[in-house]
Structure 1
């Protein structure tokens, strides 16, 4: 196994992050499922030439507004407010998946389970739960909403030379454009790196810069600094956290009974009249 020298680990050794701050960053990356229940965000992306990338929707919108209510309710709108996607059903019966008797079908949402917390109030060790929303229209959004893959589900063993899923090259405290406190790190893949969604890894093949919001644990900015797709960026703007969201925001409208206030007019013959009359409302 190739060993990384100090220059590869920390390009500027004088600015190497403290062990405490790196531990805090990894715990923050594990904590998202327990830091919020509903969220409204705006997602945009740019290619390596820093041009805005339109989404595969009508008129190719450069950004999308996404409303999420845990565990699995999702609504996606374009900039004009047109609904592009929303969950078909929520709170549906699980009987079919239970009958399948697979281990995955019995996993609970993480909000119903208690993790092990560190002294800073963030998650040190996560329980096994249903973390990935299979209904998410873009699979990579799962990684932005819960960037646990860069930290692992539990603290790494101390007897391994490179125990963590990601290698932290730089780490700093910053604020985003709205003034929200964040932690920003330059990371590369470790030997044990394993994306939660295999087809959509959060870290690129080289060095990737990630910014994590300290209040929600969301990855709000991703920039690939080197390797394949260097220069590509994703941005997540937090618009609202833990606002009340009704079921109607996420479910498809269903056909209802006829409105009697709009009853049709039926011809009713009048006594002694050769012409049929009209029903009057």
Structure 2
């Protein structure tokens, strides 16, 4: 309903947990969160498999079990890759059944979230940057949106914005925020710890997949690490039924 706007971008940033059930993607990073690219399969609320691009398993949640208790739908048929092991095919049960539903706007996106901000976290891989990438609610508030537009990201529709974090920016984890800025650094650094030489970026280009709400790209536009950020290529996604 309607095109992209500043308010719709903010609502999309709040909406990820209600927009997808299963997703498969590859991800890569530039800068402080850099590491080898990975491929991941995730099924809400708590099922995940992460591999390197050669197919070596890096992490799996829940951990493999000797005998599967049941056989349910797997993530793999979503993308046509080889099936996940049986221990990943378990009934989907809510992780927080008492988590309150958000208030939705007329366009179906989330206008306001309630309850604990961590109610809808997916499993973490390496650090909380991963969690924030998949649920970028930290971008919805505490930022100034300089511009916003519709773009295509690896063949999928996305909304791109240039953001400036303000003093109210509140990342999921200040040591690994989506916007690696001075505000976040001041939250986790002790007064006697050194700050980054040359300072921090003040402007960031951010892209949200407009179907899933996942933050598929960040890029620092200024500062000593211009160009740093991350990139996600969504291979397939299954809508969350509401």
* TM-score normalised per structure 1: 0.60
Matches within 5 A, 1:15-54: 21-47=5-31, 53=34
CA–CA separation in structure 1 for the residues paired with 2:160 and 2:24:
21
CA–CA separation in structure 1 for the residues paired with 2:126 and 2:98:
22
Q: Which residue of 1 aligns with 2:199?
A: none
Larger CA deviation: 69-78 vs 126-135: 126-135
Aligned residues: 185
Alpha-carbon offset, residue 113 of structure 1: 3.6
CA–CA separation in structure 1 for the residues paired with 2:136 and 2:97:
14
Unaligned runs of 5+ in 1: 1-19, 56-60, 91-106, 153-164, 244-281
Matched, 1:197 2:173: yes
CA–CA separation in structure 1 for the residues paired with 2:217 and 2:229:
7
- Is contact 2:27-2:232 (8 Å) kept? yes
Task: Tell me the SS of whatever aligns to 2:20.
Answer: coil
CA–CA separation in structure 2 for the residues paired with 1:69 and 1:111:
19
- Is contact 2:48-2:62 (8 Å) kept? no
Q: Deviations over 1:178-200 (max 9, x none)?
A: 1x111100101112111012221
- Structure 1 residue aligned with 2:143, among 141, 144, 166? 166
* TM-score normalised per structure 2: 0.69
Q: Which residue of 2 aligns with 1:234?
A: 230
Q: Which structure's residues are more often strand, by fraction?
A: 2
CA RMSD of aligned residues (A): 2.6
* Greater length-normalized contact order (CA 8 Å, ≥ 6 residues apart): 2
Q: Which residue of 2 aligns with 1:218?
A: 214
Cα gap change, 1:29/1:39 in structure 2, threshold over 3 Å: closer, same or farther? same
CA–CA separation in structure 2 for the residues paired with 1:113 and 1:242:
22
Matched, 1:187 2:163: yes
